[in-house]
């Protein structure tokens, strides 16, 4: 039977590291090795015999392998581990070793500190041990000891990652996240700011401006920049290349640093928040009072219902009133639109813009919705207007023109890929 974890497993060191402070192996008797895990790697504590472990007298190490010979099991170790890292000790045969995992893990989650029970057979739990033994089983994108904090100062929007205590991440207040299949630790302040004065994400344009919009927060990683934070209007991204790099594009992502960004850099959706960008050259930001509906502290793939003012590209058509809403869910945008128009000429079709750029499937005849008009209860057919995915072409199903010089009451619903 493979021993992944063990209980009450403090055993004496029979062969000390050589040199005592830098040696990368130590020995325990085979009999005592039976009380330690034989699945590697695992985290362990080296502590003087007969006393409780503290940061002053003990050292956290990573045990990466082990082998038995002539009654002694030699363990290969990486010295001076832990968060924050412990100092290498002068380890002799007057030291014990035990595995650094415990059922008392919830205390470390709350405090981000080591646990010391002061008893000889106790185990020590470190934040790093938790990250390796628990977060490896977490779904991607979930935070440990972390939360999203959006704020506005001088009309500029900042999205920061904080510890659960509200302070910046640090060596003693680390935030952990699984990005791809690797656990990453954030131990320094991390934020991104979008200053006023730019039509970010095109959300200051007609149709979006002054309306609350939902933004999805991401953490990404590359070996040079480390962990980065960003936010975007789209929820489905898994790698950097899926974002637009143009700040006014509706699929842009504002990222803390892209100096060394590569197309394949992994990104994880970690939550969502609401914010509003004003119209006009000022393009100032504001945020609501946050609650559990407009600030979500977990990976999420859908927005709230958001209002949108559809603009019509067809000439000689006056819109007297309208009510448009949309929801983004994964790679789909769901649209509902009721409108009254006065048609001052005979029109066989209408062209409306869309709240977010779509992905036409094959041609301009890809149907994305249907509706009706009170002009004899005629059906309406809605498809992409060409292959740009920016607007839709609306026509009556029977091929007749919209009414001339009369108020037409119409509505349509649709769904399309984004």
CA-CA-CA-CA torsion for 310, 311, 314, 317, nearest 10 degrees?
90
The SS3 assignment for 404 reads coil
The most confident of the ranges 96-105, 136-145, 268-277, 363-372 is 268-277
Q: What Rg do the C-alpha atoms of the chain give, in angstroms?
A: 30
Sheet of 182-186, strands arranged across: 143-144, 175-179, 182-186
pLDDT in tens, 281-333: 799 999 999 999 999 999 999 999 999 999 988 877 888 899 999 999 999 99
What is the bridge-based pairing of β-strands 175-179 and 143-144?
antiparallel
Token pair listed for 81: 């581990």
The SS3 assignment for 127 reads helix
pLDDT for position 378: 75
Taking the model in full, what pTM does it have?
0.71
Domain architecture of the chain: domains with CATH: 11-133 (no CATH), 143-296 (no CATH), 306-417 (2.60.40.1730)
pLDDT for position 108: 35
pLDDT for position 60: 93
């Amino acid at each position: 039977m493979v021993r992944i974890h063990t209980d009450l497993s403090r055993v004496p060191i029979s062969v000390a590291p050589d040199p005592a402070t830098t040696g990368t192996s130590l020995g325990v008797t085979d009999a005592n090795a039976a009380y330690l895990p034989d699945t590697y790697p695992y985290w362990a504590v080296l502590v003087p015999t007969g006393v409780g472990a503290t940061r002053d007298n003990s050292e956290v190490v990573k045990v990466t392998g082990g082998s038995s010979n002539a009654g002694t099991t030699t363990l290969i170790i990486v010295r001076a581990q832990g968060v924050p890292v412990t100092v290498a000790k002068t380890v002799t045969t007057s030291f014990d070793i035990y595995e650094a995992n415990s059922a008392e893990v919830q205390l470390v989650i709350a405090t981000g500190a080591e646990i010391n029970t002061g008893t000889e057979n106790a185990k020590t739990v470190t934040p790093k041990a938790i990250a390796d033994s628990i977060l490896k089983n977490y779904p991607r994108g979930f935070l440990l000891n972390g939360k999203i904090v959006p704020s506005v100062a001088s009309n500029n929007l900042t999205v920061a990652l904080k510890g659960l205590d509200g302070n910046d991440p640090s060596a003693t207040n680390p935030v952990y996240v699984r990005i791809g299949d690797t656990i990453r630790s954030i131990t320094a302040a991390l934020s991104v700011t979008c200053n006023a004065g730019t039509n970010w994400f095109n959300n200051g344009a007609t149709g979006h401006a002054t309306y609350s919009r939902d933004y999805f927060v991401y953490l990404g990683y590359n070996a040079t920049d480390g962990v980065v934070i960003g936010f975007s209007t789209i929820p489905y991204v898994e790698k950097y290349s899926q974002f637009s790099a143009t700040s006014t594009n509706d699929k842009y992502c504002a990222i803390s640093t892209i100096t060394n960004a590569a197309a394949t850099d992994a990104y994880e959706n970690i939550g969502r928040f609401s914010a509003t960008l004003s119209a006009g050259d000022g393009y100032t930001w504001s945020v609501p009072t946050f609650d559990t509906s407009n600030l979500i502290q977990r990976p999420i793939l859908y927005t709230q219902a958001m209002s949108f003012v559809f603009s019509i590209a067809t000439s000689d058509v006056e819109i007297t009133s309208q009510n448009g809403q949309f929801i983004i869910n994964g790679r789909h945008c769901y649209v509902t639109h009721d409108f009254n128009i006065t048609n001052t000429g005979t029109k066989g079709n209408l062209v409306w813009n869309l709240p977010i750029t779509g992905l036409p499937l094959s041609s301009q005849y890809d149907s994305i919705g249907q509706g009706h008009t009170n002009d004899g209860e005629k059906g309406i057919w809605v498809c992409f207007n060409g292959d740009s995915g920016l607007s839709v072409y609306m026509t009556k199903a029977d091929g007749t023109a919209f009414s001339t010089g009369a108020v037409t009451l119409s509505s349509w619903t649709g769904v399309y890929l984004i």
